[in-house]
Structure 1
Amino acid sequence: MIKVILLLSILCALRPAWVSAQTNIHEHGSDNVDEQAKENEKVELESIEIIAHFDKQAILGLTASAQTITAEQIEAQQTTTFLPAINSIAGIRMEQRAPGSYRLAMRGSLIRSPFGIRNAKIYVDEFPLTDAGGNTYLNLIDPASVASIHVLKGPDGSLYGANSGGVIRMQPKGFDVFQNQGSISSNAGSYGLFQEQWSIQRRVNDDYAFSIDQSFTRSDGYRDHSALNKKTVQTAHKWRYANHKEIRFLVLYSDLHYQTPGGLTESQRQANPRLSRQATAFTPSAIEQKAGIYNTTFFGGITHESHLSDKLTHSLSLFGSNTDFENPFITNYEFRKEKNAGLRTYFSYKNSNHQNAQWQMQWGLETQKGWNNLENYDNNQGRPADLQTKDDLNNHQTSLFYRVMVDLYNRWTIEASMGLNQVEINYTSLKPIFEKGNIDFGNILMPRVASSFSFTDDLAIRASVSKGYSPPTIAEVRSSDNTINTELEPETGTNYEVGLRWEPINKNWYTDLTVYQLDMDNGIVRQVNQAGAEYFVNAGEIKQKGFEATISAFLISPNDERLIQSLNLQSALTYNHYRFGKYQVEDNDYSRNKVTAVPEWVWTNTLSLSLAKQVGLNISHNYTSTMPLNDANTVYSDAFHLIQLKGTWDLNLSSSKQVQLFTGIDNLLNEAYSLGNDINAFGNRYFNPAATRNYYAGVQMSF
């Protein structure tokens, strides 16, 4: 079967359809209405459309919980980080333990997150950023180079390979260029922050467009030993070389270095939250060992799209990456060389001959291969010394998928999909002893059945049942304790979900409600040994129940004649009722405890205010409740309210050139909080204090 699909893929070609959503504002009226009518004129939100599961459709009838973040939302706050934008989505939580050190969880905890991403599959356009070993270096991406972010929540392994939390697609600038444009920006702020970015997007003709994005970011960091230095260059090209045939091409180069200050105890945090990890009688300090991350990565891919007929299309994507990774740690100095290559291809057949009964189906595969060379040396104050361990791990994962969808009377959508997933790791230990082995997680079927029914033109309900599957990543099988763990089992579980969407006819507001339950077996949990090195164990069953609510509305409809021209509110509420099932580690019984690193409540709000004279103000609020930091539930983080402000003033220099002056405040309330905690930390070093109130300002020229 695989050989047949591969052969057909190479002979044909097409572009995949995916998650692309855009919310635009437009005014309804007539050129002949009087001023009073204009003043009372309603401004509407266009119906949101999302290309999910290979087809573009209105979000009202979508069978999955989904959301889109636009470039405007990313730029509404500080552009050095994705945090404010991504945290505005219900059910997703992003943390940053130090500048550049991201962690992200979709409908889950951060109890397993060696390289930041838990249970999610992330793509850049059609190219998986999540590598063959399951690691995702999200911090390589510059936020200003992203045109939009599209999110599908809940297990979707039937179509996108191993995941149990959901799928994220980041759409780069350059693939949808409608006019020539560019920008240059620079900003500086507290704690040595400096950033410069420039972007050029050109539409050469009707058939060819491209973009080039470059950025440089540095920061000294709030805490001792938390500096960041990051350089990125990205280029994307789209070429329609013949009727119904096009090529998309993406290359990203990122050179990233950030220091890792390490966790503090509660007493250290109270005495001086700006400290880095201190030395003990057994281990040196983070500063002594020059603890940090060095990551130089080339990432790229090419997609070919071909419409073979008015009903049949084909997509073929080739992608790969090369990473040089260094990690001086407290107890060792690690070098990793990681190479990845892969292919994603599918056929799509759509039949719209009958107006009241339309159907489509897709079938294809995604396969990835990874080669990982890992060497660990003694760390002699930031310099590698004697060799400790040397291992080669090669991994391979493949997903075969099939989907069928039927749309009846443009009201009732029924879809079913099935993925056959296989993950395998071959390892060779060369030091301290020679050992070869194979870890085969076997073949697993991942079905999904879903339906959406529109009662009226503005109200729809949906329901789905899907299986989640998340095998251990390379970084969990061979974690920082430098041993290969052959005992870890994949996480598996079945997700039951119902939801309601309401989008009134006048479309000046939108709401989405979701309730789900995911019973996870063999949950993978992070543990830390006496030296501070992490390792992972299976925790048995984890019961995950959740509620998510999202609303977007114009509190004041746009009108250029007023002082307050518009006021928009976006609010997202998340409730997590996550509990361990039967879970025991040695003599410690953690059964029925709250799941580590999961806050029960998260509430985010964003107010966007437009004033006369092209002045704007964006206010972002994030409330996160307390959460347990260890499996025993004996240590909790503090709840916090984080408020961020950004003000802008746009000046028109000419019809084609504009300047924007902006300034912002982070942590307006001067909260003492930790935006990224260390879980099950040895020696009670749980806390990574975030910056107190700080400021930034900058300028951007658009042309």
Structure 2
Amino acid sequence: MLTYSLPALFGLALLPAFLFAQITPPTAATSLDDTLQLNEVVVRGYATNRRLLETPASISLLTRRDLNQRFGTPTLVPALNTLPGVRADERSPGSYRLAIRGSAVRSPFGVRNIKTYWNEIPLTDAGGNTPLNALDVRALGRIEVIKGPSGSLYGAGTGGTILFSGLAVPPGQTSIELSALGGSYGLYGNGVAVQTGKNNSAISISYNHLQSDGYRDQSGLVRDNLSLTGSFTVSEKRTVSILGLYSDLHYQTPGGLTLAQFQANPRAARPATATLPGSVEQQAGIYQKLGFLGVSHEYRWNDRIQNTTVLYGSTTDFANPFITNYERRTDQGIGGRTITQIRLPNGPLPTTFTVGAELIRNFTVDRNFGNRGGTADTIQTDEELTARQSTLFAQAETELPARFRVTAGLSRNDVRYGFTRFPTQAIGALPATLLTRNFSPVWLPRVALARTFGETVSVFASISTGYSAPSSQEVRPSAGGFNNTLNPEQGTSYEVGVRGSAVNNKLRFDVAVYQLQLRQTIVRRSNEAGAEFFVNAGRTDQQGVEAQISFDFLSPTTYASATTTDRSLFSLLRLWHSLTLTNYRFRDYQQGATDLSNNRLPGVAPTTLVTGFDAETKPGLYAHVTFQFLNPFPLNDANTVMAAPTRLLQATLGFRRSLGQHWTVDVYASGDNLLNQTYSLGYDLNAVGNRYYNAAPTRNGVGGIRISTKW
């Protein structure tokens, strides 16, 4: 059992700092394209725009190499799963679920309890939902993951915050890249990306297509994505940026299987029962069209004061033929965020102040019909839902003597819902009535203290308040009705961490230890038909250790500084590990007459270990090998059903070569589940009828090519 006290954890986290505090700083430059090159990487989390080494928070990075080279299949899932404390599931192609520090206990599907932004533009709607499956990994250049409560600057959420960035556009250069891929189970994709950079502008446009028949019955996918990013320097003080996204997605949902069904035929879809039809018969699936347009305006009064203000609008057309009904939903979102920074660098205590506000609103029309073989039938419910979130925030970051830095932040968060159900029959119908659920505004403080040791090691400690109101899909669940008794989650997180490098920057490490004490934890339930609803489950105590460590036998840094007589074949040889240890327990949790206190939270593995090896050669050959291990974890609150251990081996072999000054060719082949395990990449937690299992593909492969030209 993983148990520990905070003083002991603090000592554990500080130990490497004392071991490496006297190491001489490296003299070589550090590549910005490497996830673990901590000495020079600049992060945007908490608006610090500082080196990761100096940032007092648990932040993990994914670069373009991690997102688009290490794994062959163009999906966010495997790359996110290399980060400690992060777990991404794909129960069937396109059906994403993402958890940061165990937040999946609330997410039967989709992404909840996490805030997401694209260059300060909010992607998470006012109802707390994030359409992660509307993004295409091939259009992304970088991801920052802030782990733990970050409400002091980003609003409600106890899981964390994700900051997306598009592809970097080199100045003075135009490029075009064409790509194509194909693989097992009917996988096919293609894409085109055009970028042009001028002295005062940078524009990137990409279109990507992906389709798959799926490993299981009723698990096909078709997705088309179009993205546009642009940045325009209007004057020396003014920059305007735009973000446009359009996603047309359809994926089938095969449904969960019982253990006997999973073992007998893992490729089967959920079969019919004596009372309910099956997934194939009802053509179960998701149809989702999303349009998003955001505009950002940055104004710099001088080198000390600047403001960034963003406005956005979104529209979603959603349809979900399910086993028991057919849901059609349209949603319009609008919102904005403004953030001002004031830097006072010359006083006795140099300080940066950050103040701002965020307001987002969504209006949803939701109708449920009967489902007749994948066709909407007689209307059952006709409802409207409004959601509004407002956040006011302020933060001060002060440099103290003796290489200390303190950060103190505070935000006010207000979440409100309005719900109206309209009559669907002419006789005996109840009149439409507006129901509201307004949660009392809360203040969320955060205090963090960091100390650097030379240029290579730092330690930090933080205390932050977590708050997460129920999402719109929880106050208005698929089981129907409006839940006006569900309460927000609230808690306090304590965290200490150490990060740095040693052995002339070849050895890099990042370790964090935390404890989150959460009240009114929201968990999922299902009725007999499989429709979901949510309840508060008392307190939870969530303790964890997250660690990343890597060693470069040879790195791009040493390669770049090598002499021309260096005859070594490799330009990069790296071994890395990512470790997550958790001890998440219910406290004071009564389910009927059964006391579930001290049970483990479902869906959270006590141990997750990811090990990888990266190699790149000077002639252009590269290879990546990744092994993931998850030990068994409970699938229900009662802890009576456990997941099997997961052992997943993935590998990619490629060859990238420049042809003259203008052309580059990249050819690769990738294998997934090379150990040919029968496993579930995403379980249905607390599933009625014990339908927990969603089989992932057995051994499969994909191959692709990228051709680019620049001038």
TM norm structure 2: 0.91
Question: Structure 1 residue 429 and structure 2 residue 435: aligned?
Answer: no
Q: CA deviation at 1:109?
A: 4.1
Match of 1:387 in 2: 379
Structural mapping, 1:221-260, within 5 Å: 221-260=214-253
Q: Distance in 1 between matches of 2:258 and 2:171?
A: 50
Match of 1:682 in 2: 688
What are the superposed Cα offsets for residues 23-53 of structure 1, whole Å, 9 maximum, x if unpaired?
xxx9959xxxxxxxxxxxxx98752221222
Verify the 8 A CA contact 2:39 2:53 in the aligned structure 1: no
Q: CA deviation at 1:409?
A: 4.6
**424-433 vs 569-578, which deviates more?**
424-433
Equivalent of residue 344 in structure 2, options 336, 341, 351: 351
Match of 1:508 in 2: 506
**628-637 vs 563-572, which deviates more?**
563-572
Amino acid at match of 1:340: G
What are the superposed Cα offsets for residues 196-236 of structure 1, whole Å, 9 maximum, x if unpaired?
01111101x21011000100000000000000000010011
Match of 1:12 in 2: none
Structural mapping, 1:363-374, within 5 Å: 363-374=355-366
* Runs of 4 or more consecutive aligned structure 1 residues displaced over 3 Å after TM superposition: 26-29, 43-46, 174-179, 556-560
Q: 1:404 to 1:565 in 2, by over 3 A?
A: closer
Q: Distance in 1 between matches of 2:51 and 2:130?
A: 30
Q: Distance in 2 between matches of 1:499 and 1:152?
A: 13
Match of 1:38 in 2: none
Verify the 8 A CA contact 2:295 2:312 in the aligned structure 1: yes
Q: Distance in 1 between matches of 2:626 and 2:309?
A: 40
Question: Structure 1 residue 445 and structure 2 residue 443: aligned?
Answer: yes
What are the superposed Cα offsets for residues 459-514 of structure 1, whole Å, 9 maximum, x if unpaired?
22100000011111111111111121111001110000011112237222311111
Match of 1:270 in 2: 263
Equivalent of residue 332 in structure 2, options 339, 349, 353: 339
Q: Distance in 2 between matches of 1:550 and 1:227?
A: 35
Equivalent of residue 144 in structure 2, options 123, 146, 150: 150
Question: Structure 1 residue 543 and structure 2 residue 541: aligned?
Answer: yes
Identical columns (%)? 39
Equivalent of residue 572 in structure 2, options 549, 566, 577: 566
Match of 1:53, SS state, is helix
Q: Distance in 2 between matches of 1:152 and 1:266?
A: 36
Q: Distance in 2 between matches of 1:160 and 1:505?
A: 37
Q: 1:657 to 1:175 in 2, by over 3 A?
A: closer
Verify the 8 A CA contact 2:207 2:225 in the aligned structure 1: yes
Question: Structure 1 residue 636 and structure 2 residue 636: aligned?
Answer: no
What are the superposed Cα offsets for residues 302-341 of structure 1, whole Å, 9 maximum, x if unpaired?
0000011221111110012100000000000000111100
Verify the 8 A CA contact 1:174 1:235 in the aligned structure 2: no
Equivalent of residue 526 in structure 1, options 524, 540, 549: 524
Amino acid at match of 2:678: A
Match of 1:39 in 2: none
Q: Distance in 2 between matches of 1:177 and 1:469?
A: 42
Q: 1:542 to 1:429 in 2, by over 3 A?
A: same
Match of 2:76 in 1: 82
What are the superposed Cα offsets for residues 143-194 of structure 1, whole Å, 9 maximum, x if unpaired?
0000100111111101101111111011012667563223111010000000
Match of 1:417 in 2: 409
Q: 1:410 to 1:246 in 2, by over 3 A?
A: farther
Verify the 8 A CA contact 1:63 1:451 in the aligned structure 2: yes
Match of 1:470 in 2: 468
Match of 2:153, SS state, is helix
Equivalent of residue 304 in structure 2, options 299, 305, 311: 311
Q: Distance in 2 between matches of 1:268 and 1:86?
A: 30
Equivalent of residue 156 in structure 2, options 159, 162, 186: 162
What are the superposed Cα offsets for residues 605-631 of structure 1, whole Å, 9 maximum, x if unpaired?
221112353111111111111110111
Verify the 8 A CA contact 1:174 1:238 in the aligned structure 2: no
Equivalent of residue 605 in structure 1, options 601, 611, 615: 611
TM norm structure 1: 0.92
Amino acid at match of 1:584: Q
Match of 1:284, SS state, is coil
Amino acid at match of 1:463: A
Q: CA deviation at 1:119?
A: 1.9
What are the superposed Cα offsets for residues 549-597 of structure 1, whole Å, 9 maximum, x if unpaired?
1113203345562234431123110001000001122223211111111
Structural mapping, 1:169-248, within 5 Å: 169-173=163-167, 179-203=173-197, 205-248=198-241
Verify the 8 A CA contact 1:361 1:404 in the aligned structure 2: yes
Q: Distance in 2 between matches of 1:198 and 1:568?
A: 31
Unaligned runs of 5+ in 2: 1-25, 30-35, 425-429, 560-565
Match of 2:661, SS state, is coil
Q: CA deviation at 1:358?
A: 1.2
Match of 1:353, SS state, is coil
Verify the 8 A CA contact 1:424 1:442 in the aligned structure 2: no
Match of 2:398 in 1: 406
Q: 1:557 to 1:652 in 2, by over 3 A?
A: closer
Match of 2:453 in 1: 455
Question: Structure 1 residue 491 and structure 2 residue 476: aligned?
Answer: no
Q: 1:98 to 1:44 in 2, by over 3 A?
A: closer
Question: Structure 1 residue 693 and structure 2 residue 699: aligned?
Answer: yes
Equivalent of residue 133 in structure 1, options 127, 133, 155: 127
What are the superposed Cα offsets for residues 60-92 of structure 1, whole Å, 9 maximum, x if unpaired?
221101121101111121242111211111101
Match of 1:110, SS state, is helix
Amino acid at match of 2:627: H
Q: 1:317 to 1:227 in 2, by over 3 A?
A: same
Verify the 8 A CA contact 2:386 2:417 in the aligned structure 1: yes
Amino acid at match of 1:249: I
Structural mapping, 1:84-123, within 5 Å: 84-123=78-117
Q: Distance in 1 between matches of 2:499 and 2:618?
A: 34
* Aligned residues: CA RMSD: 1.8
What are the superposed Cα offsets for residues 268-324 of structure 1, whole Å, 9 maximum, x if unpaired?
111110000000011100001000000001012000000112211111100121000
Verify the 8 A CA contact 1:115 1:137 in the aligned structure 2: no
Match of 2:65, SS state, is helix
Q: Distance in 1 between matches of 2:117 and 2:179?
A: 27
Q: Distance in 2 between matches of 1:120 and 1:196?
A: 30
Q: Distance in 1 between matches of 2:170 and 2:313?
A: 23
Verify the 8 A CA contact 1:493 1:520 in the aligned structure 2: yes
Match of 2:104, SS state, is coil
Query: Aligned pairs, how many?
Result: 663
Equivalent of residue 56 in structure 2, options 39, 63, 87: 63
Match of 2:17 in 1: none
Amino acid at match of 1:488: L
Q: Distance in 2 between matches of 1:476 and 1:615?
A: 49
Q: Distance in 1 between matches of 2:360 and 2:471?
A: 13
Q: CA deviation at 1:653?
A: 2.5
Verify the 8 A CA contact 2:118 2:165 in the aligned structure 1: yes
Verify the 8 A CA contact 2:61 2:143 in the aligned structure 1: yes
Q: Distance in 1 between matches of 2:679 and 2:152?
A: 39
Verify the 8 A CA contact 2:103 2:113 in the aligned structure 1: no
Q: Distance in 2 between matches of 1:175 and 1:579?
A: 46
Q: Distance in 1 between matches of 2:550 and 2:170?
A: 25
Q: 1:528 to 1:187 in 2, by over 3 A?
A: same
Q: CA deviation at 1:114?
A: 4.3
Verify the 8 A CA contact 1:175 1:238 in the aligned structure 2: no
Equivalent of residue 633 in structure 2, options 627, 637, 640: 627
